[in-house]
């Protein structure tokens, strides 16, 4: 073999996929024990180059992270040129690449796919991959494997951005392809400048404000802690952020008893927090800082927390944004806008969103759409509105602004100088800058939440009492083949196996405000069961009986 094929073959021959282990590109990229990942990461490097070549040489991102998984795991995922997740249509190709048994098979798959997709591989055409990794020790060697993958395609350029949060890398890819500043300092400056603009636009803090300037942050002993400390230096007066669990000496292990995933699932105080923090506003990031939840430590129940999850963050954002959209649409000469206001703002949740949050949003007059689990689905749906907000209950989400709508806001701000409408338009423009529009971002989401609480003069209690969560229960059922379950209507109804949905319906009907659904997990070998009802005992009982039906219908 000559040229490109032999370059690929030679490089690929240094890496061997783990025998008997199938690693697939799931909801969040490839993830596995770090010791078996180097071949997958090498191949993901090649995949990233192909993705760039397919997009005319635009920069794509390659992130080494396993998010909230234990420190021994790692993973790799690709960011598309727009900054979002890699197009789903390429996932089967990604799986085929990772699964190729030999280097020869791998090269063959690459060449056949490149020919089919008309990807100019080996012609020295420009392509670019921005790489980064989170703070996991295994990341250092894995990133080298990714670079070798990139170097095995003629003309491909790898740019190592170092240790970053996942959303920072996605942001950089998006910025770079738009010809905008894409350094880490650009990121910090954009977030901090727009944060300070929002505070200024808010005017004076409300009288008798319940807002406490102190925020305690649990950084999961991950990459987000150090980054947040950098950001805090630029925020100025008015907010006092104390960062804990930064992964420094003596602070404990990544994601172990700490972080957003732990706090949300266990509703328990993370390490590094004590009864002395009771009543304080606290927040937890996950290991790569793309998720955030807030919480307070309960008085007299010192292990437990009151959780303010993704649904409540979403509700807070929706309240603030719709209030500002209403000001814009309120002027007499804008009757049209007023009528269409509800179409302007849309909110996207998954079936896991607490029913009380969905009802709260609908009562506010906001359009609520349901997407299947996985942020790529939510993101795509949210992009259909002028302003689309999406969140998973677990704290992953963001706000998207349509480019045309941003132009409209800019024009309006210029036209209505000195009015409330100008202020509202400028506020929304600043919101579009503070949020990370590429992907959910714990740091930027936190800044927006803080601004809104400050603006309203709200305490955590004020925020928490927007609505009362309905009691809920999540269970996992181990089954022989989770993919024997297929669903429809955004995972709320089972299609296969036949009869299971009727059984779920019959159970649900027994409970006041009952709701339950099941779906195969995309990241674990289980079927997940969710149930909600008017009391905790009822939610538990409903979940347990639905889980029994799942076991029954899926037993061999």
Active site residues: 67
Instruction: Name the one range near ligand NG1 by CB under 6 A: 204-212, 244-252, 401-409, 518-526.
Output: 518-526
| Residue 392 contacts ligand NG1 per CB under 6 A | yes
Q: Which C-beta is closer to ligand NG1: that of 27 or that of 209?
A: 27
**C-alpha–C-alpha distance, residues 68 and 135, integer Å:** 12
Instruction: Name the one range near ligand NG1 by CB under 6 A: 54-62, 217-225, 320-328, 388-396.
Output: 388-396
Q: Which two tokens stand for residue 347?
A: 């909110």
Q: Which two tokens stand for residue 410?
A: 């800019």
Q: Which C-beta is closer to ligand NG1: that of 486 or that of 523?
A: 523
| Residue 28 contacts ligand NG1 per CB under 6 A | yes
Residue tagged 């094929």 (tokens): 5
| Residue 286 contacts Zn ion per CB under 5 A | yes
| Residue 392, binding choice from Zn ion, ligand NG1, none, Cβ under 5 to 8 Å by partner class | ligand NG1
3-state DSSP of 480-505: CCHHHCEEECCCCEEEECCCHHHHHH
Nearest distance from residue 169's CB to Zn ion, in Å? 12
Q: Which C-beta is closer to Zn ion: that of 254 or that of 550?
A: 254
- DSSP letter at 29? B
| Residue 177, binding choice from Zn ion, ligand NG1, none, Cβ under 5 to 8 Å by partner class | none
- The contact pattern for ligand NG1, residues 478-517, with x = CB under 6 A and - = no contact, is ----------------------------------------
**C-alpha–C-alpha distance, residues 32 and 48, integer Å:** 19
Element holding 33 (H helix, E strand): strand 30-33
Element holding 133 (H helix, E strand): strand 127-133
Instruction: Name the one range near Zn ion by CB under 5 A: 110-118, 276-284, 286-294, 308-316.
Output: 286-294
| Residue 373, binding choice from Zn ion, ligand NG1, none, Cβ under 5 to 8 Å by partner class | ligand NG1
Q: Which two tokens stand for residue 83?
A: 């900054």
Q: Applying CB under 6 A, what is the total number of residues that bind ligand NG1?
A: 13
Q: Which C-beta is closer to ligand NG1: that of 28 or that of 543?
A: 28
Q: How many residues does the chain have?
A: 556
| Residue 286, binding choice from ligand NG1, Zn ion, none, Cβ under 5 to 8 Å by partner class | Zn ion
Q: Which residues contact 532 (CB under 8 A, 6 or more apart)?
A: 354, 355, 470, 471, 472, 473, 513, 514, 515, 516, 539, 542
CA 492, 496, 502, 503: dihedral to nearest 10 degrees?
-100
Q: Which two tokens stand for residue 30?
A: 């490839």
Q: Which C-beta is closer to Zn ion: that of 8 or that of 79?
A: 79
Q: Which C-beta is closer to Zn ion: that of 68 or that of 456?
A: 68
| Residue 521 contacts ligand NG1 per CB under 6 A | yes
Return the number of other C-beta atoms located less than 10 Å from residue 100's C-beta.
19
**C-alpha–C-alpha distance, residues 448 and 397, integer Å:** 12
**C-alpha–C-alpha distance, residues 42 and 27, integer Å:** 20
| Residue 521, binding choice from Zn ion, ligand NG1, none, Cβ under 5 to 8 Å by partner class | ligand NG1
| Residue 373 contacts ligand NG1 per CB under 6 A | yes
| Residue 290 contacts Zn ion per CB under 5 A | yes
| Residue 523 contacts ligand NG1 per CB under 6 A | yes
Instruction: Name the one range near ligand NG1 by CB under 6 A: 96-104, 392-400, 412-420, 500-508.
Output: 392-400
Nearest distance from residue 61's CB to Zn ion, in Å? 15
| Residue 277 contacts Zn ion per CB under 5 A | no
Element holding 552 (H helix, E strand): helix 536-554
| Identified binder of ligand NG1 from the candidate list 106, 262, 352, 517, rule CB under 6 A | 352
**C-alpha–C-alpha distance, residues 214 and 211, integer Å:** 9
Nearest distance from residue 540's CB to ligand NG1, in Å? 17
Nearest distance from residue 237's CB to Zn ion, in Å? 31
What part of residues 20-79 is at the interface with Zn ion (CB under 5 A)?
67
CB-count exposure of residue 396 (10 Å: 0-12, 13-18, 19+): buried
Strand order in the sheet with 472-477: 472-477, 527-532, 515-520
Q: Which residues contact 375 (CB under 8 A, 6 or more apart)?
A: 85, 390, 392, 396, 397, 439, 440
Contact 515, 531 (CB under 8 A): yes
| Residue 288 contacts Zn ion per CB under 5 A | yes
Nearest distance from residue 420's CB to Zn ion, in Å? 39
Residues that bind Zn ion (CB under 5 A): 67, 286, 288, 290
Residues that bind ligand NG1 (CB under 6 A): 27-28, 352, 373-374, 392, 394, 396, 521-524, 528
């Amino acid at each position: 073999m000559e040229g490109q094929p032999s370059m690929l073959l030679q490089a690929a021959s240094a890496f061997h996929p783990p025998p008997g282990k199938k690693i697939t590109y799931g909801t969040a990229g490839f993830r596995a024990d770090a010791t078996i990942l180097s071949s997958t990461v090498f191949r993901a490097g090649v995949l990233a180059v192909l993705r760039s070549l397919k997009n005319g040489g635009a920069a794509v991102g390659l992130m080494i992270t396993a998010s909230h998984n234990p420190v021994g795991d790692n993973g790799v995922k690709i960011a598309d040129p727009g900054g979002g997740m890699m197009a789903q249509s390429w996932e089967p190709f990604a799986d085929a690449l990772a699964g190729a048994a030999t280097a020869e098979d791998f090269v063959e798959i690459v060449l056949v796919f490149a020919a089919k997709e008309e990807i100019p591989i080996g012609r020295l055409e420009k392509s670019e991959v921005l790489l980064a990794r989170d703070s996991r020790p295994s990341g250092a060697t894995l990133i080298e494997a990714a670079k070798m993958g990139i170097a095995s395609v003629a003309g491909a350029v790898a740019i190592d951005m170092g240790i970053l949060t996942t959303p920072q890398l996605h942001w950089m890819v998006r910025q770079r392809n738009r010809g905008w500043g894409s350094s880490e300092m650009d990121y910090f400056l954009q977030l901090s400048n727009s944060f300070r603009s929002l505070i200024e636009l808010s005017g004076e803090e409300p009288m008798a404000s319940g807002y406490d300037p102190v925020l305690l942050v649990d950084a999961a002993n991950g990459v987000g802690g150090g980054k947040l400390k950098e950001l805090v230096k630029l925020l100025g007066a008015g907010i006092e952020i104390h960062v804990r669990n930064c992964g420094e000496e003596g602070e404990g292990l990544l994601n172990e008893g700490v972080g957003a995933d732990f706090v949300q699932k266990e509703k328990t105080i993370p390490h590094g927090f004590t009864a002395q923090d009771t009543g304080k506003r606290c927040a937890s990031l996950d290991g790569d800082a793309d998720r955030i939840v807030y919480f307070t430590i309960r008085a007299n129940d010192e292990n437990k927390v009151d959780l303010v999850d993704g649904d409540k963050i979403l509700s807070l954002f929706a309240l603030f944004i719709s209030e500002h959209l209403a000001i814009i649409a309120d002027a007499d000469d804008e009757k049209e806008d007023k009528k269409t206001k509800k179409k302007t703002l849309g909110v996207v949740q998954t079936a896991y969103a607490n029913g009380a949050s969905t009802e709260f949003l609908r009562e506010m007059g906001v359009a609520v759409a349901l997407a299947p689990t996985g942020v790529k689905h939510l993101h795509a749906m949210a992009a259909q509105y002028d302003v689309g907000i999406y969140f998973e209950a677990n704290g992953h989400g963001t706000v998207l602004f349509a480019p045309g709508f941003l132009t409209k806001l800019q024009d309006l701000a210029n036209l209505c100088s000195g009015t409330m409408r100008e202020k509202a338009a400028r506020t929304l423009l600043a919101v579009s800058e503070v949020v990370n529009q590429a992907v959910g971002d714990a740091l930027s989401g936190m800044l927006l939440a803080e601004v809104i609480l400050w603006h309203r003069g709200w305490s955590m209690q004020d925020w928490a009492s927007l609505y009362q969560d309905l009691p809920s229960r999540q269970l996992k059922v181990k089954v022989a083949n989770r993919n024997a379950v297929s669903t429809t209507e955004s995972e709320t109804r089972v299609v296969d196996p036949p009869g299971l949905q009727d059984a779920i319906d019959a159970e649900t009907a027994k409970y006041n405000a009952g709701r339950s659904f099941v779906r195969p997990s995309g990241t674990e070998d289980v079927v997940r069961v969710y149930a909600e009802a008017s009391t905790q005992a009822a939610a538990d009982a409903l979940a347990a009986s639905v889980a029994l039906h799942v076991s029954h219908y899926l037993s061999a």
